[in-house]
Amino acid sequence: CLILDDLCGQFSKHGKKGAAAIHFATRFRHYVNSGEPALVLCSTQKYKDLHPILRCNSTGVLISGNIKSQKELGAIIDDWADSFGGKQNFLRLFEQARTTPYAFLYLKLDTKPLKAYLNFTKQIWQGEWGETKDDEEFDSLSEDTDSD
Q: Which of 85, 91, 90 is nearest to 127 (CA)?
A: 85
- How far from chain centre, in Å, is Cα 136? 22
Q: What is the pLDDT of residues 74-88, one digit of tens each?
A: 999 999 999 999 999
Asked whether 52 and 64 are in contact (CB, 8 A), the reply is: no
Q: Which residue has the higher pLDDT, 123 or 1?
A: 123
Q: Which of 79, 37, 86, 36 is nearest to 61 (CA)?
A: 79
Q: In this model, does residue 19 exceed pLDDT 80?
A: no
* CA 18 – CA 2 distance, rounded (Å): 14
Length of the chain as a residue count:
148
Q: List the single range of 55-64, 107-116, 119-128, 135-144 with lowest mean pLDDT.
A: 135-144
Q: In this model, does residue 130 exceed pLDDT 60?
A: no
Q: What is the dihedral of CA 132, 135, 141, 146, to 10 degrees?
A: 140
Q: Which residue has the higher pLDDT, 10 or 62?
A: 62
